A and B are shown apart, each in its own frame.
Chain A
Amino acid sequence: MSDSSITTGKAIGSQTMPDIGMAAPADYFELLKPRVMSLVIFTGLVGLVVAPGTINPIIAFTALLCVAIGAGASGALNMWYDADIDLKMARTANRPVPSGRVTSGEAFGFGITLSVGSVLTMGLVVNWVAAGLLAFTIFFYAVIYTIWLKRSTPQNIVIGGAAGAFPPMIGWAAVTGSVSVESIALFLIIFMWTPPHFWALALFSSKDYAAAGVPMLPNVAGERETRRQIMLYSILLMPVTALPVLLGFAGVIYAGVTAVIGLGFLVFAYRVWRDAEGEYKTARQLFAYSILYLFLVFSVLLVEQGLGLAAPLRAVIVL
């Protein structure tokens, strides 16, 4: 039996019962958006492995832990600020803050504490370039995206999606202590992947976003325009995904695999573009495939590097 209501302090005579809250540890963990954290850890790991140079395994683990905690802190701050609109959306109404299990102040304090702790730990243990990138990522997601862009423009996830694209750069910086063209390429892959991924979600969740007053593209520009934009960004994603090959830190295997799965991405995006308004099966399929696509792109990079097979394509062609 559980009591989901929070007991408020009530003055009785001259004494007041303090609140002790109803949040369980699992509720605080849910504030961190664990599914987003897993993607962040994975892409950060790939950036770390692909980067030139070596790193102590414990320091590497610390870097990934800080990225994960930092990402979770961003999620907690997002849940703190967006509690009002989360309450209006079926997908998010049962989150810890709108459901009352965690108070707004607790979520904010939790997010701020983890933000500061993860950035300081990254700086002191790994290096301050990675810490700076992590701090910027948290700031970008919590302030630029959550507080400013999300409620004010249909381009919110195009620009705000940059926050999810930083982890491989952070992993790279953890090893090299710097930002490079290669790490920017990894950033760009996720950055260009974000619009078709989230707009596919927005298509079949448009009623939810409309109820919450969030200006997602389908609600502002209409379904037809959203489907067209999904197709455009999917086409743009292809040359961006080829950047690791062009820059010489991915090889034949990566080129082959990404060509095949890229074609699949274009097929799914085309079907969304040509689908009738009000039909969302293809949008759901693209959304699911986009997750698999990103996972495979980064997995191939990881496997190639791990097996020492990342021979530049130009070398293979010459031979």
Chain B
Amino acid sequence: MPIELNNDEAPRRWTAEQLKRRRQRNVALALFLGGLVIFFFVVTIAKLGGNVAKRPSYGAIDTIEQVHSIAHIG
């Protein structure tokens, strides 16, 4: 929305063209940032290598061997 100022001089407005270009810049920036998020996610997966979703995290029991070893000790 254009801003109008209440004062003795003639009010100044941003032109429709200025507002349109600002919106275009904002959309482009949003798309760029969204693309950057996706890009960093894909690159992270690539750097971590294959089967990243199946890898046991530190301290978690995810493998049969770990379960058996703990059960044996218990």
List residues of chain A with CB under 8 Å of any chain B CB.
1-3, 7, 10, 12-13, 15, 17, 20-25, 28, 56, 58-59, 62, 125
Assembly CA distance A20 to B3 (angstroms):
12
Q: Does B18 contact A (CB under 8 A)?
A: yes
A59 and B18: CB pair below 8 A?
no
Q: Return chain A residues, CB-CB under 8 Å to B27.
A: 25
A13 and B43: CB pair below 8 A?
no
A13 and B8: CB pair below 8 A?
yes
Partner of B7, one of A13, A23, A28: A13
Q: Does B71 contact A (CB under 8 A)?
A: no
Query: Which chain B residue has the least Cβ–Cβ distance from A29?
Result: B28
B25 and A23: CB pair below 8 A?
yes
Q: Is the interface of A mostly helix, strand, loop or mixed?
A: loop
B21 and A22: CB pair below 8 A?
yes
Q: Return chain B residues, CB-CB under 8 Å to A62.
A: 39, 43
Assembly CA distance A127 to B34 (angstroms):
24
Query: Which chain A residue has the least Cβ–Cβ distance from B31?
Result: A25
Assembly CA distance A3 to B46 (angstroms):
46
In the assembled complex, the CB of A11 is this many whole angstroms from the nearest CB of chain B, namely 10
A125 and B9: CB pair below 8 A?
no
A17 and B3 in contact, given A3-B18, A23-B25 (Cβ under 8 angstroms): yes
Q: Does B14 contact A (CB under 8 A)?
A: yes
Known: A2-B17, A21-B18. 19 other contacts (CB 8 A): A3-B18, A7-B12, A7-B18, A10-B12, A12-B5, A12-B7, A13-B7, A13-B9, A15-B5, A17-B14, A20-B18, A20-B22, A21-B21, A22-B17, A23-B25, A25-B24, A25-B25, A59-B46, A125-B47
Q: Mark B20-41, 1 if CB is under 8 A from A, else 0.
A: 0110110110000000000100
B46 and A56: CB pair below 8 A?
yes
Q: Return chain B residues, CB-CB under 8 Å to A23.
A: 21, 25
Q: Return chain A residues, CB-CB under 8 Å to B18.
A: 3, 7, 20-22
In the assembled complex, the CB of A100 is this many whole angstroms from the nearest CB of chain B, namely 13
Q: Return chain B residues, CB-CB under 8 Å to A24.
A: 21, 24-25
Assembly CA distance A98 to B14 (angstroms):
22
Show 21 residue pairs from A and B whose CB-CB distance is below 8 angstroms, ordered by the A residue: A3-B15, A3-B18, A7-B15, A12-B7, A12-B9, A13-B7, A17-B12, A17-B14, A20-B19, A20-B22, A21-B21, A21-B22, A21-B25, A24-B21, A24-B24, A25-B25, A28-B25, A59-B46, A62-B39, A62-B43, A125-B43
In the assembled complex, the CB of A297 is this many whole angstroms from the nearest CB of chain B, namely 31
